[in-house]
Amino acid sequence: MVMKTAIIKILYFLCTFICLTNGARILGVFQMPSYSHYQLGDRILKELAARGHEVTIISPFEEKEKIKNVRKIVIENVLEVFASKAVDMFSYANYNVFSSILMRDTEILPYTENTLNSSNVQKLIKSNEKFDIVILERLMNDAFHGFCAHFEAHCIISSPIPTSSWTNIQMGNVGPPSYVPELGSRFSSEMNFFERAYNFLAYLFYTTWFHAYVVPLHNEIMHKYFTKVPHLYDIYYNVSLMLVNTHIAVHPPVPHLPNMIEIGGYHIKPPKPIPKDLENYLDNANEGVILFSMGSNLRSKDLPDDKRRAILNSFSKLKEKVLWKWENESMCDLPGNVKLSKWVPQNDVLAHPNVKLFVTHGGLLSTLEAIYHGIPVVGIPVFGDQYSNMRIAEDYGYGISVPYEYLNEEGLTAALEQGLNNPTFSDVAKRRSKIMHDDPVKPLDKAIFWIEYILRQNGGKHLKSSALSLNILQYLLLDVIGFISIIIAIPICVCILALKIIRRPHKKVTIKKKKN
């Protein structure tokens, strides 16, 4: 019996070794010139490389050092072009959900074509290389499905945002607009009548816009660089797996198909030692510390002077210290309790026991990190999913939202005082943190398992929804409703016609008598 067990263990080890030494060839395409988006793709792809797979990454960010099993294909000049545009991203706060949809598909489109037009990417496309899997970030880059078709690889989508019509249309997933908010709608799953009506109109608008504008345009771009691939509609729905950057601790439960896997928080690493000057500042904060950061895309230094002054005045009233991620060297009229830092290791700082509150833009990665460490948040949302993230934080009770367009000294001061002095916010954040840590499998391990599952199961066709084989009339049962309506209408019409004939008055027939 002991010998049998030993043999089984040896065979298991050998099988594992063989699987690791026969790694797959994987292509990852993460084209956005944004560190937060790069961070998401980088975490998964380098973990795959560490587990023995040969990984090629298309990205605007270069590697500082050589990494085993990783080849980087750099998209030229993207970061320089992005920096030269000098877009005022704080102006996006004035956009509603409809203008946000139009803005996203027009402003991000150049990065999609710039990626395909890159000389380094073109060399790869024109090569005779083969890949087993292509992993695409889902962000207004539908033309990238040409990579999957061109290399005849299984397609996996990495969604940096929660599910909405963006993701549900592609996967054939049910996402009722009655409680699944559209991106940019500023709602959570808890919507009143008018919010549901608004969200439904946004759903109809995006669905129409996608089929009428996005698909034809991206199909044209795709065939410009991939000449031998089918129409976009023929490959767009051929997705084996979608990895969704959400977690039940931070997002309300919504429908997910078996090939839609939640991996929210997978980018979070164990905290590392922080720079000595920051460590001393945090250690000596006897009253506690507030961390303030507007993320990697929004820069605090671009804040209008009136908003900056309102924030400074609010901070000056606090007994707590403030660590502010500020991209410039210095700031005039800085209160004594505020320290500026051009770079902040956010996850590591949030893990410090003296941090009491996180003032954030409400980005998804920041929100996940805050809850992971049990820190309540005060959010200043500006665009995208930031409003929805902060609406959920308010609904759940671990955060307070101060929308950027309404940001002033009085409103921010009240939010800070409530977030610091009302223990409910901290209690809820800690309770949500326990939920986030109470997973049978770590999110990153779950992501890797399912990617390798798709490899083992040759694309996992058994996971795909039958909804993808139906057209819109069939999916909504409009053909069945029409047929039943006709079946019911025919006998009703026959009965009505028969009644009319029966009840029709008869004319009296008079016979004229002949006179003798």
Condensed to tens digits (0 to 9), the pLDDT of residues 103-123 reads 877 777 888 888 999 999 999
**pLDDT at residue 20 tops 50:** no
> What average pLDDT does the segment 223-237 reach?
94
In 211-267, the DSSP E strands lie at 241-244, 260-262
Instruction: For the sheet with 260-262, list strands across it.
Output: 70-74, 54-59, 25-29, 133-137, 154-159, 241-244, 260-262
Residue 354 tokens, joined: 């003296």
Average pLDDT over residues 509-514: 56
Instruction: Note if the pTM is more than 0.75.
Output: yes
Q: Supply the pLDDT for residue 283.
A: 95
Which of 4-8, 14-18, 110-114, 289-293 is predicted least confidently? Answer: 14-18
Residue 320: phi and psi, rounded to 5, are: -75, 155
Averaged pLDDT score across all residues of the chain: 89
301-327 pLDDT, tens digit each: 889 999 999 999 999 999 999 999 998
Q: Could you tell me the residue ranges of all domains in the chain? A: 22-84+107-174+214-266+442-469, 276-437
- Angle 27-109-266 from CA coordinates, rounded to 5°: 45
Q: Tokens for 132?
A: 């087993």
Is the per-residue pLDDT at 82 higher than 80?
Answer: no
Q: Give yes or no for residue 371 having a pLDDT over 60.
A: yes
Collect contacts of 84-87 with beta carbons under 8 A, ≥24 apart. Answer: none
How many CB atoms lie under 10 A from the CB of residue 373?
22
User: Given pLDDT bands bounded at 50, 70 and 90, which one contains residue 240?
Assistant: very high
Amino acid 164 reads S
Average pLDDT, stretch 288-299? 91
> Exposed/middle/buried for 286, CB within 10 Å: 0-12, 13-18, 19+?
exposed
Q: How many percent of the chain have pLDDT more than 90?
A: 72
Report the percentage of the chain scoring pLDDT > 70: 92
What is the model's pLDDT at position 35?
83
pLDDT value of residue 10: 53
Candidate from 8-12, 294-298, 307-311 with smallest mean pLDDT: 8-12
The phi-psi region of residue 459 (left if phi > 0; otherwise alpha if psi is between -120 and 50; otherwise beta) is: left
What confidence score (pLDDT) does residue 462 get?
A: 95
- Output the pLDDT for position 341: 93
The per-residue pLDDT for range 395-421, each reduced to its tens digit, is: 999 999 999 999 999 999 999 999 999
Q: Quote the pLDDT of residue 100.
A: 83
Q: Is a pLDDT exceeding 60 seen at residue 296?
A: yes
Q: Above 50 in pLDDT, residue 12?
A: no
Q: Does the pLDDT of residue 336 top 50, yes or no?
A: yes
CATH architecture under which domain 22-84+107-174+214-266+442-469 falls: 3-Layer(aba) Sandwich (3.40)
Task: Give the largest CA-CA distance in the chain.
Answer: 137
What amino acid is encoded at 49 in this protein? A
Confidence of residue 510 (pLDDT cuts 50, 70, 90): low
Say how many Å lie between the first and final Cα of the chain, rounded: 130
276-437 and 22-84+107-174+214-266+442-469 share a CATH fold: yes
Beta strands in 361-414 (DSSP E): 377-379, 399-401
Instruction: Evaluate whether the domain defined by 276-437 bears CATH number 3.30.1330.60.
Output: no
> Has residue 146 got a pLDDT over 60?
yes
DSSP letter at 328 equals S
Interval 445-470: pLDDT, tens: 999 999 999 999 999 999 999 999 88
Q: What is the pLDDT, as a whole number, of residue 19?
A: 45
State yes or no: pLDDT of 373 exceeds 90: yes
28 vs 57: CA distance, rounded Å = 5
Give the range among 26-40, 123-137, 226-240, 492-506 with minimum mean pLDDT: 492-506
Question: Are 348 and 272 in contact, with CB atoms under 8 Å apart?
Answer: yes
The string of pLDDT tens digits covering residues 180-200 is: 999 888 899 999 999 999 999
